[in-house]
A and B are shown apart, each in its own frame.
Chain A
């Protein structure tokens, strides 16, 4: 187990380094950050001067080496746009994104489970059909479309909820719904199908035959055994949620990392993009590590690796 953990950890490190390198390379190809920083009345010499001031006149490998050598000490450099340590800016914004993603994750779990369980235990009933129709619709809707419709219906027409910003729980409702709908839909289907699979197994039939109540059967045997695919999904889900946050945060003016990232990309704010990509990858990789470990706890038969 120790050796496995070590290897798994080593791979996680490789992944993070790889992500940082690829993002650096792609960004470097994509252009020059000074373009968005200069005024229209600037001369060519003034532009060149700014480039030197920012250290952007050095070759890419020098810049990357500098970046890596500082990054391992926890210094991700200074944002070109905000003139503030990139790490600091991301830490300021991370809570907003985590809040949104966590609420969406919790929503998707607490809503997906009942729907999936009811659909599976009452297979073929109107509940099953209704639940699965909802799930299919939820999976077929582009998130930005859903977000705009939520704004239009609940924000503008009904005026129940605020449509932008972040200052109280009511500001969280619409973005969280927009972000979680796809996951709710997908998770409901996963729960349903993995429950159906387990329900077919002999040991469930045996348990029922032993006269255990349906409630216990479902709780003890079925749910527990159908957890594995569900946990896989949730591990990946968080990554999806962080990705989806880019669009949701843009639509709802949510001050999170997703919006920061997309603006930084547009402004070619290299250090900031680098830092946010690396930190996102770090979070994602650690989550997967945790998920892997949970497998072995839930089901020792699962072959690690």
Chain B
């Protein structure tokens, strides 16, 4: 009996050893850190869903790899002199995956479905553009009427993916979230929820068939497991890894690549200016001067990235602006000017007899190295006499406190970007529920209103630069950085990641495997 057991164990191990896996040339595999909840474009809310959807659908106007806007299903468009009627000239000869033709009716149907009161979609595009009605001029021309002038309308079009009217109106909604049909470069083969999404190339795509034929998207939550898959040939693109982990990738195997892309997400410490001395602009500037962000970049991100210069992303940022410099001396001076002194010699400054102690809340695993960064920042603040305590919160708790406006006076947060100056600046408008700074500046608010009504690019730039300087001057944020997105790539993958966190498959090339 004992011998039988031993033999059994040996056999088991031999069997295991025999099935050792070799890297194989399988389907192109993308490993995600989170999963998609829906594949219905009108219910998508997460970046990951947009990433998958943009490979199966096309919008009228697309955001290109360099974050500028360009024609997709609309060949060109113009706005009339009332600034409330936009005319779109549609591409001809485009077909949906199911054979339905793309035409003016598709555009009308898509926008009407967005505001279907029975369906209750989550998409907000029609509200953001103050949609009035859609007018079909002819089979390939539509006019979009808005209730008021909206200069940012083309930006919002990026997420308005065109749907085939017959299929979407005749299929029950429960089916639709699993079986999307668009005009895009890839067709859905199968979606096994929480396991994988399988796509194949759309040979009839109007831009020509994409280079990669078969693609698998798979959520793998654990970072070490994603890296393991990349190293064992089970993945071609893995997302959301950190530079610390990149070292081992580059060392471990020939050909594996580590790519960092400067993203649009602006990571900052929100300062609740309605909390005591934080209302004093000198204190806020002092906090900005107190941190050595370059040291964090060097040690934590291994040199990737730099401190945020403006809250507006390139290419719309004011090129004349410089980032805050690390200057603890200046920080101390500013704090002293604001009346903060260490009277009892315990290393913590006091204001009005009370020590300057403040809490810093950070979502535990939402932002790249968020918790770690917060700890480092707190150490820098302590060095100039401000006692900061870091409190990590689970993301849903953080969100609840953000909604109830009960976050700590300093909070670690990041706003994503649509790469438009008006939308980038809009995150500081007082009536935005996710903006807790309570910062109100007449100049900023008036300029923001003007910006919304200005269609001339040169004038828009002037206003936006002025506003960027006000923000810098007033510092309602402790400016940190534009978050980098880090990817691991297999040897055969040739790809430069985009700044908007999305993975657009037609932009990826494959190296030919050597025989």
Contacts and interface: CB of A to CB of B under 8 A. Distances in A.
Interface of A: 31-32, 35-44, 46-47, 50, 53, 81-84, 89, 92-93, 114, 118, 127, 148, 151-152, 154-156, 158-166, 170, 173, 250-253, 255, 259-260, 266-268
Contact of A267 (B193, B234, B396): B396
Given A31-B397, A42-B433, A250-B222, A156 B193 contact: no
A251 B222 contact: yes
A151 B224 contact: yes
A266 B394 CA distance: 8
B127 interface: yes
A164 B127 contact: no
B447 interface: no
B225 A151 contact: yes
B192 interface: yes
B195 A255 contact: yes
Contact of B222 (A89, A164, A267): A164
A282 to B, nearest CB: 22
Nearest to B193: A92
B94 interface: no
Contact of A127 (B2, B38, B220, B221): B2
Given A35-B400, A114-B1, A164 B193 contact: no
B1 A162 contact: no
B196 interface: yes
B92 to A, nearest CB: 34
Interface string B227-267: 11101101000000000000000000000000000000000
Contacts of A53: 120
Contacts of A152: 224, 228
Contacts of A148: 222, 224
Contacts of A118: 1-2, 5
A155 B17 CA distance: 12
Contacts of B470: none
A252 B218 CA distance: 12
B94 to A, nearest CB: 29
B399 A35 contact: yes
Given A250-B222, A253-B221, 5 more contacts: A32-B403, A40-B427, A161-B16, A162-B21, A253-B225
Contacts of B397: 31
B16 A164 contact: no
Most buried by A among B17, B218, B222: B222
Nearest to A268: B396
B192 A255 contact: yes
A255 B21 contact: no
Given A36-B399, A42-B124, A162 B194 contact: no
Contacts of B396: 31, 35-36, 266-268
B460 to A, nearest CB: 19
Given A31-B400, A43-B431, A165-B195, A252 B124 contact: no
Determine the interface band of chain B, counting residues with CB < 8 A from chain A: 35 or more
B43 interface: yes
Contacts of A173: 16
Given A162-B232, A250-B221, A41 B120 contact: no
B403 A47 contact: yes
A114 B122 CA distance: 57
Contact of A82 (B193, B395, B423): B193
Contacts of B219: 253
Interface in B396-455: 396-397, 399-400, 402-403, 415-416, 423, 426-427, 431-434
A36 B124 contact: no
B19 interface: yes
Contacts of A160: 16-17, 19-21
Contact of B432 (A41, A114, A163, A252): A41
B177 interface: yes
A42 B174 CA distance: 25
A168 to B, nearest CB: 10
B16 A155 contact: no
Given A39-B45, A40-B416, A159-B232, A164 B225 contact: yes
B205 to A, nearest CB: 28
Contacts of B220: 164-165, 253
B232 A93 contact: no
Contact of B234 (A39, A46, A162, A166): A162
Nearest to A265: B396
Given A83-B38, A159-B20, A173-B16, A40 B415 contact: yes
A166 B232 CA distance: 16
A104 to B, nearest CB: 16
Contact of B193 (A89, A159, A166, A170): A89
A266 B403 contact: no
A271 to B, nearest CB: 14
Contacts of B21: 159-162
Contact of A163 (B17, B124, B225): B225
